[in-house]
Structure 1
Amino acid sequence: MIQELQLTRPHYEEYLSILLRELFLLVSRQAPVGTAQNRILQKEMEAATQFFNEHFTENISVEDYALSRHMSICWFIRSFKRYNGVTPMQYIVNLRITNAKTLLRTTTYSVSEVAAVVGYENPLYFSRLFKKQTGLPPSEFRNTSTNFHK
């Protein structure tokens, strides 16, 4: 995984996410089998994580997701954070920003187009959020990334 990070070959971020998932699976197989309640919780959180991974580009309401699964919103957010280390909304934002970074590095899409592709209707809001997460505005990130890889 470290080597992949250092080499930054094409699609390395996607490959790293696959490797990380595999690592989590291997660790979870080594862990002692928990109670039935823990297994149900784990299944629910895995399902939520998978749903967010597949639908992060859409307009996702964490509240609607929890209610659709017949869960208390507070319980779901607390459980998701315990399971993933971040709240559901932080998880979705991280997915969007990670994918935006890849698009900025590998495509010629405008910042507005990148924002739309990763699920933000408002490019200005996307730019502010991107800068807050990465420390750079999207256009500067693209310039820095493309200069670095030349």
Structure 2
Amino acid sequence: MRNTSDIIEQYLKAVLTQSEQDLIEIKRSEIAERFQCVPSQINYVIRTRFTVEKGYFVESKRGGGGYIRISKVTPSDQAELCGHLQKLIQDKVDQHTAESMIARLLEEEAITPREAKMMEAAIQREVLSLTYPQDRDYIRANVLRAMLYRLQYEM
């Protein structure tokens, strides 16, 4: 059984898919009322499920006439997608963010399901077992950046 966050995510993605501009404007309170949940749950869904790594741009305006605008960012080709994801990686990247990037590559069909599984295996915290756990994110960033570079220039 799916939880409320999953249902809200699916709804917002369906509305976004139906939009001609790959853009929607929503009122947090209206969505919360529709799904009979607290408005903070809508914030949680947007903050965790509609991230830049996953291909979304979110902006919000607070106040009486406030809104949340979600737009889907579509790269022109796979090389552009890989370049964009490389720029998002700073000195370090956590496992969740790296997995989101791999999922985006798969969603955009820049990699196969088999390649996604291999990439995910390479960035797992158990694989990057180090004496100092904080070093894991630095190593993960380097590994992911190298994979994206290879994908970008050897497609």
Q: Normalising to structure 1: TM-score of the pair?
A: 0.29
More strand by share: 2
Per the normalisation by structure 2, the TM-score is 0.28
Q: Which has the higher contact order (CA 8 A, sep 6+)?
A: 2
Q: Which has the higher helix share?
A: 1
